[in-house]
Structure 1
Amino acid sequence: MTGIEVAPATPASLSETSPGNRRRAWIVTAMLVAFMMVNFADKAVLGLAADPIMADLGLSATQFGLANSAFFLLFSLFGAVGGLLADRVSPRWLLLGMALLWSVSQSPMALGGGVAMLFASRILLGATEGPAFPIAQQTALSWFPNHRRNLPTALITAGTTLGVVIAAPGLTWVVRQYGWRSAFAVVAIVGVLWAVVWAFVGRQGRHAVAAEDATAETTEKPGSSAVGYRRIIATRSWIGVTAGFASTYWILALALVWLPSYLHNGLGYRTTTAANLVALVWAVSAVAVVGQAGLTGWLLRRGVSSRWARARVGGITLILAAAGCLALAGGQRGPLTVLFMVLAFGICGVMASIAVTTVAEFAPPGRRGGALGLMNAVVTVAGLLGPVLIGRLVDTQGLAGYRNSIVLSGVLLLLGGLAACTLVDPDRDRRRLAR
């Protein structure tokens, strides 16, 4: 069994390099990208239908924020539990079960549920989506050695943005033509269709812990596979990437829940235009995530340490996004505001992919799923707190509440970027965990 990962000194085995194995690796990766697209379309539907839902159900902005925060009530807990479980149970079946439960949780609102059912369905959806990102990434990691992981993990992260790129105009059209409940029916059906396909093609790769052997790309110091989770989460690298990822998740929650409403009610854009701008932001995010993978891979191939190639690339990106937020807070409707919005919301998502590959670099494979799940659990607390806090600011301060929320987001991004730049050093912490 292997633990501490470095580039292979010998040629990979025939099974790793065979066309069939490579093809299966990318088929699974494509399915995981689609999985995350469905995941974020499920999250986005409530924000895209915010105004008609609040009007039909008689919700204030604070109550609507609470409904969104309800999604995260069990999200963090089950994210940690799911990550730990992925170290013991095949992720193939965990992913299948989650996708089916997502569809079940969306069904009550499609069939006429009221306020109580809205809260209950969002809590169930949050619980079943909590482990999605770490388990999807854990499954992708099992198909690729360390030096080839940047692109697949970036593509899966980009899937979170592509889901909203497609959902924003698509579900907005469904809401306008057929009512907001129809949008919930659409995402439920899509979840079932994904689960059917995954049941046939879903697999775990040879770089899973149970399959690693002497031909794999890593070596392990005796006893390193027994490293406790407490030691892993106490490392400066885990703390640094978690802080950076948490600031990113705050922005993701703001974009999912309140950005459509801010563009429509705060800046006066038409509903269709607001949906298209939301899609633009998430499209830029997808490009940024994939571009970061290319840049990071290029730097690593040239011998640049992961501390610079991953952590500081991510940290600097968060600092730039913070500048965009602070500039956006003082802007008015127009092209410059759109530019600041794209900078603020469109580039910080790179930290999600960087956080995953960084943790995978220094955490032993036998503890990787749990380390990712625990990180996700901490990070997603931002999703629990953000929507209700912003809703409260909007209720009490009106349009100024939107602006103050964006300023607060800029400060959090700045702190997260500084943490990533100053704390993270995977090589250092990998050596420490190997002792």
Structure 2
Amino acid sequence: MSLPQIGRRSWLLLGLLFGIGLLNYLDRQTLSILKATLKGELSLTDTHYSWLLTAFMVPYVIFYILSGRLVDRFGTRICLSLFTAVWSIANILSGLAQNFGQLAASRALLGAAEPGAFPAITRVMMTWFPKERRAFAWSLLSPCMTAGAILAPPLVAIVTNYWNWHMAFIIPGVAGVVLAAAWWLSDRNPPTFPSEAEEVTAPPPPMKTILQDRRVWLLLAARAMTDPVWYFHLSWLPGYLQEKLGLSLKQLGWLGPIPSLLGSFAVVAAGWTADRYVRKGISPVRVRVGMFAVMAAIAPIGALTTFAPNVTVAIVMISLVAMVCQIWFFGQSMLVADIFPKNSAASIAGLLGAVGATGGLIINAIAGPIIERAGYVPVFVALACLHPLAAWMLWKARPRLASPVAATA
């Protein structure tokens, strides 16, 4: 049986999603990379930095839920164009900020717009790519999005050293406005796949119905446990490498991308391996959860990060944890596609993102005061336990996750 063909427009949109995902990660990383610089420029403490992260995370959590429903209701063309344009404008405003209050306000606007990208991407992939070939396209896209985290340290360092820290925010913001316009012009006339036509055109179910499905709650619990690890690495590791291990901004520009780069390669390898086992007839749910368990066994090494004798060993440990985080993030997106219909995918992705972001909000809000009083050790140790706990829970729940109908009783 021949596989469904993928049109040129689908690959064009995948390329645009590459750029949108790249900027999404780059724009949020800019603040963390410039943490040491901004502490001097704006007289900030670690507690102030926690407040900036909180200003981003509170609207991020709220709008994750709202954006998922908006995507299911109005589609990806208008929603993703709007989300990208708004967060790019917010990034420009961050570059124009002259004090803590202005910077906090612009980060709040960024937090309101950025989460919408992920429910929209889930819906785009399920609309423009047939299920028989979706995993391959998604495995390409997932590492591409983390390219923003890979490129952020050297780009921010180069722009800051050549011009100033303001331009490190403004230039990506302008690029984002251009990408938003390109998406608006390109996302039209999606293909129809006969076996999925009814699912695509069905209206989204009420949120109450979605929340009655116990499988949703299992995935929400796993996301709440694991996302704080990734949010902490995104927000605090650049500052840790500079302030505790003595890296300059220029050195961070070269060494900082390594964990995300290795994590991206790990995602591609994991996607290829998972598809291989699925083709052998093993349940996709069993494959994904097995992949989670294998990676969770590596996560505890993160507890040893602060005891690393030098920068090289620290980077190795951080890279291993980055692999764990990125494979879990990719795998959970695939689980949504494996388990739930298209007409609720963006809503469920929004719920998962909101719960994960809530965990990120909490860890970012409390990390500053804890680090100021007790150092990094208790934070790294606590985070190292989360992936193993989540993997154990999902492994026990495999039969329920693989059930073809919601378990509401």
TM-score by length of 1: 0.86
- Residue equivalent to 1:137: 122
Question: Is 1:238 aligned to 2:231, yes or no?
Answer: no
Matches within 5 A, 1:25-424: 25-203=10-188, 205-206=190-191, 215-216=194-195, 228-320=206-298, 322-397=299-374, 401-424=375-398
Between 1:191-200 and 1:235-244, the stretch displaced more is 235-244
- Residue equivalent to 1:7: none
Amino acid paired to 1:384: L
The alpha-carbon distance between structure 1 residues 25 and 425, as it changes in their structure 2 partners (threshold 3 A), is farther
| Equivalent pair of 1:329/1:407 in contact (CA under 8 Å) | no
The alpha-carbon distance between structure 1 residues 204 and 382, as it changes in their structure 2 partners (threshold 3 A), is farther
| Equivalent pair of 1:77/1:377 in contact (CA under 8 Å) | yes
| Aligned-pair Cα RMSD in Å | 2.5
Unaligned runs of 5+ in 1: 1-9
| Equivalent pair of 2:213/2:408 in contact (CA under 8 Å) | no
**Cα distance per residue 1:77-96 (max 9 Å; x no partner):** 11111111111112111111
Amino acid paired to 2:43: G
SS in structure 2 at match of 1:192: helix
C-alpha displacement of 1:226: 7.5
Between 1:118-127 and 1:263-272, the stretch displaced more is 263-272
Instruction: Report the Cα distance in structure 1 between the residues aligned to 2:289 and 2:132, rounded to whole angstroms.
Output: 16
| Equivalent pair of 1:37/1:163 in contact (CA under 8 Å) | yes
Instruction: Report the Cα distance in structure 1 between the residues aligned to 2:324 and 2:187, rounded to whole angstroms.
Output: 30
Amino acid paired to 1:278: G
The alpha-carbon distance between structure 1 residues 306 and 229, as it changes in their structure 2 partners (threshold 3 A), is farther
| Equivalent pair of 1:236/1:423 in contact (CA under 8 Å) | no
- Residue equivalent to 1:4: none
Between 1:413-422 and 1:346-355, the stretch displaced more is 413-422
Instruction: Report the Cα distance in structure 2 between the residues aligned to 1:153 and 1:204, rounded to whole angstroms.
Output: 21
SS in structure 2 at match of 1:341: helix
The alpha-carbon distance between structure 1 residues 35 and 387, as it changes in their structure 2 partners (threshold 3 A), is same
| Equivalent pair of 1:168/1:279 in contact (CA under 8 Å) | yes
The alpha-carbon distance between structure 1 residues 112 and 150, as it changes in their structure 2 partners (threshold 3 A), is same
**Cα distance per residue 1:7-32 (max 9 Å; x no partner):** xxx766xxx52xxx432212211211
State, as a whole percentage, how many aligned pairs show the same letter.
Answer: 23
Instruction: Report the Cα distance in structure 2 between the residues aligned to 1:390 and 1:350, rounded to whole angstroms.
Output: 24
C-alpha displacement of 1:372: 1.4
Instruction: Report the Cα distance in structure 2 between the residues aligned to 1:380 and 1:108, rounded to whole angstroms.
Output: 23
C-alpha displacement of 1:427: 6.0
| Equivalent pair of 1:245/1:351 in contact (CA under 8 Å) | no
Instruction: Report the Cα distance in structure 1 between the residues aligned to 2:179 and 2:291, rounded to whole angstroms.
Output: 34
TM-score by length of 2: 0.91
SS in structure 2 at match of 1:122: helix
Instruction: Report the Cα distance in structure 2 between the residues aligned to 1:101 and 1:276, rounded to whole angstroms.
Output: 30
Between 1:340-349 and 1:51-60, the stretch displaced more is 340-349
Instruction: Report the Cα distance in structure 2 between the residues aligned to 1:316 and 1:244, rounded to whole angstroms.
Output: 15
The alpha-carbon distance between structure 1 residues 93 and 420, as it changes in their structure 2 partners (threshold 3 A), is same
C-alpha displacement of 1:244: 3.3
